[in-house]
Chain A
């Protein structure tokens, strides 16, 4: 399942759906809103998205993962809009028979999201300045 949503990501519900009897490995990545970036204290963060294209690109990433690896179920969910510090902005969960595929696919999906899905961070700092973040340094 993929989604780009303004709502809190229901990770408990999604995790339960990954608990399949034939899957011995579940790997999840959650990206959370940090309170600092490039030496500045972040007060507030929001995400802008080109949603129709974002959903299409996200779906292509996940479809590619299913072609390359033998996995049974996955979630790739990105939250957008204003997100409070500490909350989850992106959640990727993968279930497979064995751990190797689950680890590899989880890493693949989050790395591809950070390179390809048209979403941008807009940060407001405690000193009152604001900045678009364009490109991924980490």
Chain B
């Protein structure tokens, strides 16, 4: 029972915009991760596999379900997570 709780997972959809698509060769992916994962943990895991610079990483913005959020946000099953470079509309 305890083991089952420890292994509980959630599935989230991740969106990449503008230049971030180049780092992942896609604009979206769906992944399964452990429950109680924070956005920061997910970001670090994802970007570890890329050659993104620390400088660029620090400028990124984050949204969950269309709201800007901070990196300490706890992820929930079904979340739509967006990694956003600094915007340049207008």
Contact = CB atoms under 8 A, between A and B. Distances in A.
Interface of A: 31, 47-50, 52-53, 56, 78, 89-90, 110, 113-122, 132-136
Please list the 6 inter-chain residue pairs (A to B) with the smallest Cβ-Cβ separation, ordered nearest first.
A119-B89, A135-B86, A120-B18, A114-B90, A53-B66, A134-B85
A134 B89 contact: no
Contacts of B82: 50, 53, 118
Given A49-B89, A78-B89, A133-B88, 14 more contacts: A47-B89, A50-B82, A50-B84, A78-B90, A110-B90, A113-B89, A117-B87, A119-B89, A120-B88, A121-B88, A132-B19, A132-B85, A135-B86, A136-B87
17 contacts: A31-B90, A50-B15, A50-B63, A50-B84, A52-B66, A78-B89, A114-B90, A116-B87, A119-B89, A120-B18, A120-B87, A120-B89, A121-B89, A132-B88, A134-B18, A134-B19, A134-B88
Contacts of B19: 132, 134
B86 A134 contact: yes
Contact of A120 (B15, B17, B63): B17
A49 B18 CA distance: 9
**Which of A31, A49, A132, A135 has the most CB atoms of chain B within a 10 A radius of its CB?**
A132
A116 B61 CA distance: 10
B33 to A, nearest CB: 22
Interface in B43-63: 59, 63
Contact of A56 (B15, B66, B88): B66
A118 B63 contact: yes
